[in-house]
Amino acid sequence: MITKPKGTVDIIGRDAKIWKRVESVIDSVMEKYNYHYIRTPIFEQKELFHRGIGDTSDIVTKETYDFIDRGNREMTLRPEGTAGVVRSFIENKMYGDPSLPIKVYYNGTMYRYERPQSGRNRELTQYGVEVLGSDDPFIDAEVISLAIQINQMLGLQDNVVHINSLGDQESREKYRDALLTYFKPHIDELCEDCKNRFQKNPLRILDCKVDSENEILKNAPKMIDYLNEDSKKRFDTVCEYLDLLQIEYVVDPKIVRGLDYYNHTVFEVHTNIPGFGNANVLAGGGRYNHLVKELGGPDTPCMGYAAGLDRLVMAIKEQQEIEEDSLDVFLTYVNEDEKKYAVFLSQELRLAGFTVDTEYTGRSLKGQLKQGDRLHSKYFIFLNSEDLKENLVTIKNNETKEEEKIDMEYIIYYLDEHIDAFDDGSCHHCDGDCHCHKEEKNEENRK
C-alpha cells in the first residue's frame, strides 16, 4: 500500500470543514483591510531563500528542500512566503506603482525538512500578509491588528501580542557587541548550533529551542536596553497605536524571530490553550526594511507576518465545538420513474439555494432513510409514483417526524418557510440576493 510521505497530512472530514472556514475568514478580513491576494511559485531559485532568509537561520541551514532540475538549475521548495513576495515585487516593478504601499496576502503550502511534531509538518500551509513601501509605525500596528482580528473572527480566545524591537542598524550593532561580550565566557555551555551562531549572528542564540530554559539565555542583555533614541521613539509609537486599537500586548525581550531579515518591530500572537506549549504561538512576523534592497530592488521599507493554518485548525478544535455538517433535504425514491424525478428536483432545489442529496447506490427505502439520518438531513422528500401523478410530494420533518403532502409548485416556498425561515430579513440559504427576495426588494424600492 502506498502511504503519504512523513510529515504530510490528508485534510479530510471535520478538519476540512474547519480549514475552509479559516480560509473564508482570512479572505473576508483581508478584503475589508484592502489587502490583495498574491500567488507566487511553490519552487524558486535556491539563491532567493539563501540570500533572503539568511544563512544563519535554521530554515536555510537545516530545513530547505533543495533540488537540481533537468536544466541543472538549483531550486528550492519555498519554506516561507516573504522572499517570494519580495522577488515578485522587484521583478514586476511594483515599486513604481503610484498607489504605494503595496498591501498583499497569500495562502499556500510551504516545505521544511524538520522533525514532524504537533502543529509542525514538513508540508505546511501558511497565510501571510506583506506591506511593501511604507515605514509608518501605523502599518506595524495595522498588520498586528490583522492577525488579532482574524483570530477573533475565528472565535479564538485569549489572544495576546508579544512585541519587541530589534532597532535600526546602529542599535543592532551595539546589541551584537553586547551579546558577544556576554556569551563569550559561556559559549562552551551552549549547544553546537549556538556555538556556530556566536560568530555569524549572536541574536539567533536567543531563539534557540535547545537552550531556551538555560539561565545563560534568560539573563542575557535585552535588546530594548540598546535601542538608540530614534528606534526607541519608533517602538513607543507602535505601542501607542496598539493602545488606540485596544490590542492587548506585552513587551517581550525574548522575541527575536528566527529569520535574519527582521529589524525594528517583531511580534508573535500567543493564544492561551492549555497543553499546547510552543504551539500557542499562532502568528509571528515583523518589519524588514532591507530585504528588498538585499534582493536587488530599491530601498523599500516592509512589514509582514505569517500564521500556520495547521495550528489555527488545532486551536479551533481545542477551543470550540464544531457542528456536524447537515443537509436541508434528502430525496428518496424506489423506482426508475421516481429516480428521474429525483434527478430533476434535486437540481431545481440546489439552484434555489438548498443543500440537497439523494440516493446513488441502489439502497432500499429503509437504507435511504438511514443515509439521510447519517447526513443529518432536516427534511425528507418522498417521491412516490402515485403522488407524482397528482403533482404531489410528501415532506417529512426529520426532527418532529411530522409529514405533509404538498403541491409540487410550492416545494421551494414550503422549504423557505420551514427551514430556518428568514434570518435577519434574509433567506437562510442566501445573502438576501437570491430569487426568494427579488419581489420583496422590488416592492421596497417602489415604496
Same-domain pairing of 313 and 400: no
On whether residue 5 sits in a domain, the answer given is no
Identify the weakest region by mean pLDDT among 38-52, 69-83, 254-268, 374-388.
254-268
Percent residues over pLDDT 70 in the chain: 88
What is the rounded average pLDDT of the residues 320-325? 77
CA 249 to chain centre: 21
What lies within 8 Å, CB to CB, of 70 at 6+ separation is: none
pLDDT at position 447, please?
Answer: 40
Mean pLDDT (whole number) for 13-30: 93
Asked whether the CA dihedral 38, 44, 47, 49 is positive or negative, the reply is positive
| Residues 111-147 pLDDT 10s | 998 887 776 789 999 999 999 999 999 999 999 999 9
Of 391-405, 409-423, 426-440, highest mean pLDDT:
391-405
Q: In angstroms, rounded to a whole number, what is the distance separating the alpha carbons of residues 258 and 204?
A: 7
Q: How confident is the model at residue 441 (pLDDT cuts 50, 70, 90)?
A: very low
Closest CA to 359 of 348, 343, 347: 343
Give 200's pLDDT tier (boundaries 50, 70, 90): confident
| Residue 141 and residue 258 in one domain | yes
Residue 285 CA neighbour count, 13 Å, CB half? 30
Q: Coil, strand, or helix at residue 139? A: helix
- Predicted confidence at residue 26, as pLDDT, reads 97
- For residue 134, give the nearest of 288, 269, 5, 20 by alpha carbon: 288
- Residue 373 is assigned to a structural domain of this protein: yes
Kindly state the average pLDDT of the residues 416-440.
50
Last residue of a domain, one of 258, 292, 319: 319
pLDDT value of position 259:
63
Of 299, 319, 339, which closes a domain? 319
> Residue 355's domain is classified under what CATH number?
3.40.50.800
Domain presence at residue 71: yes
Query: Whole-angstrom Cα distance, residue 322 to residue 240?
Result: 37
Does any domain span residue 215? no
Q: What's the whole-number mean pLDDT along residues 320-342? A: 90
Question: What is residue 424's predicted lDDT score, i.e. its pLDDT?
Answer: 38
What rounded mean pLDDT belongs to the chain?
A: 87
Q: Which residue in 83, 82, 50 sits closest to 65, CA to CA?
A: 50
**Sheet of 392-397: strands edge to edge?**
356-357, 327-332, 377-382, 392-397, 403-407
Residue 102, domain CATH? 3.30.930.10
**Structural domain tally of the chain?**
2
Long-range pairs for 346-352: beta carbons < 8 A, 24 or more residues apart: 348/412, 349/411, 349/412, 349/415, 352/412, 352/415, 352/429, 352/434, 352/435, 352/436
Query: Per residue in 27-67, pLDDT tens?
Result: 999 999 999 999 999 999 999 988 766 555 555 556 889 99
Q: What is the pLDDT of residue 117?
A: 74
pLDDT of res. 260:
67
Indicate if 277 and 348 belong to the same structural domain.
Answer: no
Across residues 218-247, what is the average pLDDT? 93
Residue 442 has pLDDT above 70, yes or no: no
Residue 249 lies in a domain: yes
Whether pLDDT at 6 is above 50: yes
Report DSSP letters for 273-305, one per residue: -TT-GGGGEEEEEEE-TTHHHHTTS----EEEE
CA distance 100 to 162: 28
Domain containing 294 equals: 13-168+228-319
CA 67-81-173 angle, to 5 degrees, is 100
pLDDT of the residue at 420: 66
Q: Is residue 154 part of a domain?
A: yes
Q: Are 19 and 109 in contact (CB under 8 A)?
A: no
User: What is the share, in percent, of the chain residues with pLDDT greater than 90?
Assistant: 63
Has residue 317 got a pLDDT over 60?
yes
At CA 135, angle to CA 257 and CA 54, rounded to 5? 35
Residue 219 domain-assigned? no
Same domain, 268 and 384: no
Domain co-membership, 256 together with 350: no
Last residue of a domain, one of 319, 341, 365: 319
- Looking at residue 222, what DSSP letter applies? P
- The residue among 202, 165, 152, 198 whose CA lies nearest residue 319 is 152
Same domain, 241 and 272: yes
Residues 149 and 276 in one domain: yes
Predicted local confidence at residue 325, as pLDDT? 81
- Cell numbers at 265, concatenated: 518591530
What number is the average pLDDT over the span 419-434?
A: 45
Per-residue pLDDT tens digits for 366-382: 999 999 999 999 999 99
Q: Are residues 342 and 294 in the same domain?
A: no
Q: Between these two residues, 110 and 427, which has the higher pLDDT value? A: 110
Structural domain includes residue 203: no
Q: For position 436, what pLDDT does the model report?
A: 42
Span 184-197, pLDDT tens digits: 888 877 787 777 77
In 40-101, DSSP assigns E strands to 43-45, 65-68, 74-77
Do 331 and 268 share a structural domain?
Answer: no
Strands 356-357 and 302-308: unpaired
Angstrom distance (rounded) from CA 312 to CA 122: 17
